[in-house]
Amino acid sequence: MALLGALVGYLAFPPVGFWPLAVVGPALLWAVAARRKPLAASLMGLWYGLGYFLALLYWLVNTITDYGGLPLAISILSYLLLVAYLALYPALAARLMAHAASRGADAALLIAPFAWTGLEWVRARLMSGFGWGDTAQALWRQGWALDLAPRIGASGAALLVHLAASGLAWLLLSLGEKEGRPTLRGLAPSALGILLILTVPLVDDGLNPATEGEKIVIVQGNIDQAHKWEPAQRRETVEIHRRLTLEGVRKLGGADLVVWPETAFPSYFQTPSPLRDLVEETAREAGAPVVFGAPAFENAGGARTHRNSVFAVSGEGELKGRYDKMHLVPFGEYVPLPKLFFFIKRMVYTAGDFTPGERTVLLDPASGALPVGALVCFESIFPDYALEHAVGGARILALVTNDAWFGLTHAPWQHLCYAAWRAAETGLPLVRAANTGVSAFFDRRGRLLEVSTQAVETTLTATIQCPKPGKPLAASIQQLIGPCSIALALAGLFAIFALPARKPATDGSR
């Protein structure tokens, strides 16, 4: 089971991206769990989760060691502790299946898709949330899956895939011992999932038609993270972004929007300085609004708080707004329980000790012509922020990130997957500007249009259709999928055990 989990974790996601494994892997675990007692099933799920997250998140050791400043041994220990925690979720899902299977394989097949979806939702929200490695992440290039997103969101698409996958578990259980085999009723969840995958895209998604194309420039400065904040490097950093901006604008013959990465401006933009003057001059010379990341501060009650922010400067060089990142990275941008995790303080000092923003703010550097919904790095993993921007009137999403923290690993490509879902759910095109890559354009259906490579200084340019503001159907449904799934799984278990007991299926493993 650990080997199966490792194969799924490594091969189902970028750069390999063999997505069927993300469906087959859980189904195989479900089939095994349904023929074991709860404790044995839990252990099977735990082994699967350990292999899965060890293979998927190997890059964390590099990040914690190189940028967290911790010794290699402590970095490995931190990585293993996180993996052990994440492995509890498939272990719990397998245990729920085994409990249901004590009333028959059909019951287990009914519970499995809802338990798996619901626990992925819990994992994405509990203790700040870490949804990395959910099923939707593996499906980011599948048009049929993205077509579900504006209607039921990424979580809804994952639920339908899990329902369909129960058919494979049914087949595996049917090939086992005669006693305890599922009946044809056990195929009902799979049939329902397939039917909904085919019919949900026929429902009106509530999106407005696209308008004329807007000329967009993405700047990827490829600034070395190790030297980015050195005083002698700061002007050169802004100069690089200025040069690439003007090159991109000339290439397009003008631009409607220019997007720089997270903390592309390596100082406080609020403070008047020659560096700020240079950014404003760049916007005026380009004749285009510039959206970029920079740290910000606020003074209140005699104390100063710091924010990880996105600023917008108009084509006339005027500051037009600021959005503060709302969902910070634990242990990267702040330390939860600092007294307990005192030894990680150095990592926070490297990244910045930030305070989260309090609300979504729409950036409007073009005076109503192209309202921008900004997302910062980790926020792209969570659908709520992008959907709030869409409901608030955004016509395009600008995702700024600094994936230099990951080094030359697979993590930036895995992180890229979520941008496709945020575009597809909202029905808005998405521009992803990453400091060292990967930068990309996504259309309003979540299709990847253009992508950069890592560790290169470059610009990406495109003319993208941006719709008028509207409220996607997913804004109302997405947030219900996870809690309803876990509620249905638990309610199903309660109903199953309220029925008269049946003789449980047995095999040599019990």
Q: How confident is the model at residue 228, as a pLDDT?
A: 83
Rounded average pLDDT over 463-469: 92
In the chain, the percentage of residues whose pLDDT exceeds 70 is 93
Distance CA 363, CA 83 (A): 38
In a shared domain, residues 326 and 253? yes
Written as six digits, the tokens of 398 are: 């600008």
- Does 61 reside within a domain? yes
Q: Mean pLDDT: which of 122-131, 184-193, 342-351 is highest?
A: 184-193
Q: How confident is the model at residue 469, as a pLDDT?
A: 85
Query: Residue 141 sits in which domain range?
Result: 2-205+475-498
Q: How confident is the model at residue 191, as a pLDDT?
A: 98
User: Does the structure show a pLDDT above 90 at 121?
Assistant: yes
Query: How many structural domains is the chain composed of?
Result: 2
- Per-residue DSSP letters for 431-446? EEEESSS--EEE-TTS
Written as six digits, the tokens of 289 are: 């609004």
In a shared domain, residues 183 and 222? no
In a shared domain, residues 233 and 359? yes
- Does 9 reside within a domain? yes
In a shared domain, residues 494 and 460? no
pTM of the full predicted structure? 0.94
Express each pLDDT in 87-96 by its tens digit. Answer: 999 999 999 9
In a shared domain, residues 285 and 387? yes
Rounded average pLDDT over 52-63: 95
Alpha helices (H) in 219-273, listed in sequence order: 231-252
- Per-residue DSSP letters for 65-118? HHTT---HHHHHHHHHHHHHHHHHHHHHHHHHHHHHHTT-HHHHHHHHHHHHHH
User: Does the structure show a pLDDT above 90 at 188?
Assistant: yes
Distance CA 40, CA 29 (A): 12
Where is average pLDDT lowest: 64-73, 144-153, 438-447, 464-473? Answer: 64-73
- Does 237 reside within a domain? yes
Distance CA 55, CA 92 (A): 20
- Does 504 reside within a domain? no
In a shared domain, residues 260 and 182? no
Question: Burial letters for 407-426: b for 16+ Cβ neighbours within 10 Å, e otherwise?
Answer: bebbbbbbbbbbbbbbbbbb
Distance CA 139, CA 20 (A): 9
Where is average pLDDT lowest: 3-17, 80-94, 159-173, 336-350? Answer: 336-350
Q: 457: burial class by Cβ within 10 Å (0-12, 13-18, 19+)?
A: middle
Where is average pLDDT lowest: 55-69, 362-376, 439-453? Answer: 55-69
Amino acid at site 218 = I
Query: What CATH code is carried by the domain that includes residue 274?
Result: 3.60.110.10
Rg (CA), the chain: 24
In a shared domain, residues 323 and 383? yes
From the candidates 262, 333, 379, 425, give the one annotated as an active-site residue.
262
From the candidates 325, 333, 379, 484, give the one annotated as an active-site residue.
325
- The residue among 339 and 405 whose pLDDT is bigger is 405
Active site residue 457: no
Please give the mean pLDDT across all residues of the chain: 92
List C-alpha distances in Å: 301 to 130, 298, 305, 308, 358.
Answer: 33, 10, 10, 20, 18
In a shared domain, residues 384 and 305? yes
Pairing of strands 458-467, 210-220: antiparallel
pLDDT band of residue 485 (cuts 50, 70, 90) is very high
In a shared domain, residues 482 and 352? no
Q: How confident is the model at residue 344, as a pLDDT?
A: 56
Q: How confident is the model at residue 349, as a pLDDT?
A: 44
Active site residue 466: no
- Does 510 reside within a domain? no
In a shared domain, residues 370 and 447? yes
Active site residue 377: yes
User: Does the structure show a pLDDT above 90 at 502?
Assistant: no
In a shared domain, residues 291 and 197? no
In a shared domain, residues 112 and 143? yes
From the candidates 377, 417, 466, 484, give the one annotated as an active-site residue.
377
